[in-house]
């Protein structure tokens, strides 16, 4: 389920249409987790409260960003939000955002065309047909990709108010929920619902619809030393090989995957060996990782992320400055969990923020090739280094390895 944050300013009629769609099953691939209002007295807040949806008031874009991160939003939906989001906000937000405009774009759009003003302009122009358009939000006001449109006939006795109401009833409330569902459905098929240029290193563990266990591990790099690496198989294990001369390999050269009987260990550092040795001696995944901590790469203090797969299920862990966290999951057909080192993109040279919250649930398809190719395509072209994916079928497995450097 894609986590949706809805931005509002007024009465919230489109918000209500989305709430109704969530109730009646039209909106099923996403869930509204937060309503953010620019006005403390907006009636949209009442609609949200009646639906049991947390609501907050934000006056600045920085406050909105904080709310989006706090609620774990993966999609932003504008529903009568009366402010233009700045390019700086859209870049910092790094989330897909949608809006609905009360005309057939690109007609009657851009600066100054909003609310009743659009319908006044439509009637003044003497056109015969108007409507509504759902579009993705970008730096150009009303200029993003059009997702859906629906036409509405203009009647001889129309006033701006009559036309506004009919456009809402016949177009906006019909196409917006369906368009949001379509975008959520597409986002659900991606590993990263929130696009990231640099998630760092990441682990996915899970299960295909037919019950095959699987895992994926990827590394990314911003420095020349981090990029001078490739994955290489060593039996059932995976190692990293340097492709250039690097003075310090302590945090970038390790075995990401090791196998111990029917148990597979995946980590982003030399704690792979720590877990392997502990399990071999009768210890546990958790006890092994309690002897380790985050990486000593100040000022980032990169978390150590780890996972272990057994016949019964899988566990994941993240060790960071804020503490040690462990997560345990049973195999659920078609589902998996993603954990990566960094939470969101920041400006160049800024401190990289550690992953926050619980591992993100992702969909796992039956076909390994499809999953592997799609994940490699999703990883940022400039920063991706290597990816390894393995799907199990009983005691055998199929796998695929990607190295950008070879």
Q: Among the options 83, 101, 135, 300, which is catalytic?
A: 101
Residues 6 or more apart in contact with residue 385 via CB below 8 angstroms? 218, 219, 220, 221, 226, 227, 229, 230, 403, 404, 405
DSSP state of 59: S
Which tokens belong to 401? Answer: 């390895």
The answer to whether 402 and 372 are in contact (CB under 8 A) is yes
CA atoms within 13 A on the CB side of 320: 21
337 is catalytic: no
Alpha-carbon dihedral angle through residues 165, 169, 170, 172, given to the nearest 10 degrees: 100
- Find where tokens 């059009």 sit: 146
Q: In 3D, which of 127, 81, 121, 116 has the Cα closest to residue 100?
A: 81
- Find where tokens 């609310």 sit: 115
The answer to whether 117 and 142 are in contact (CB under 8 A) is no
In angstroms, the CA 214 to CA 204 distance is: 8
Active site residues: 101
């Amino acid at each position: 389920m894609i986590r949706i944050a809805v931005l509002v300013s007024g009465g919230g009629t489109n918000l209500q249409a989305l709430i109704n769609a969530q109730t009646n099953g039209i909106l099923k691939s996403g869930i509204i987790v937060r309503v953010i209002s620019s006005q403390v007295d907006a009636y949209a807040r009442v609609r949200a409260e009646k639906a049991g949806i947390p609501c907050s008031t934000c006056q600045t874009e920085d406050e909105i960003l904080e709310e989006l991160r706090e609620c774990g939003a993966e999609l932003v939906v504008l529903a009568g939000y009366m402010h233009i989001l700045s390019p700086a906000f859209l870049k910092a937000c790094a989330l897909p955002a949608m809006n609905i405009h009360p005309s057939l774009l690109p007609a009657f759009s851009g600066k100054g065309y909003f609310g009743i003003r659009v319908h006044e302009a439509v009637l003044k122009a003497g056109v015969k047909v108007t409507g509504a358009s759902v579009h993705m939000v970008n730096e150009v006001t009303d200029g993003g990709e059009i997702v859906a449109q629906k036409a509405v006939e203009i009647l001889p006795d129309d006033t701006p108010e009559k036309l506004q109401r009919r456009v809402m009833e016949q177009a906006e409330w019909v196409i917006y929920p369906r368009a949001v569902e379509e975008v959520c459905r597409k986002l659900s098929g991606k590993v990263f619902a929130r696009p990231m240029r640099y998630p760092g290193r990441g682990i996915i563990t899970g299960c295909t619809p037919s019950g095959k266990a699987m895992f994926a591990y990827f590394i990314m790099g911003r420095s020349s030393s981090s990029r001078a690496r490739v994955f290489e198989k060593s039996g059932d294990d995976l190692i990293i090989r340097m492709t250039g001369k690097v003075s310090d390999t302590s945090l970038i050269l390790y075995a990401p995957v090791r196998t111990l009987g029917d148990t597979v260990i995946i980590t982003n550092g030399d704690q792979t060996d720590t877990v392997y040795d502990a399990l071999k001696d009768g210890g546990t995944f958790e006890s092994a990782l309690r002897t380790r901590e985050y990486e000593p790469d100040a000022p980032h203090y990169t978390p150590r992320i780890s996972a272990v797969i057994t016949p019964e299920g899988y566990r994941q862990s993240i060790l960071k400055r804020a503490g040690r966290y462990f997560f345990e999951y049973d195999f659920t057909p078609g589902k998996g969990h993603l954990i990566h080192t960094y939470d969101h993109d920041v400006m160049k040279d800024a401190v990289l923020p550690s992953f926050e919250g619980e591992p993100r649930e992702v969909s796992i398809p039956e076909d390994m090739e499809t999953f592997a190719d799609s994940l490699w395509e999703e990883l940022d072209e400039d920063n991706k280094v290597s990816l390894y994916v393995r799907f199990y079928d009983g005691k055998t497995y199929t796998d695929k390895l990607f190295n950008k450097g070879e």
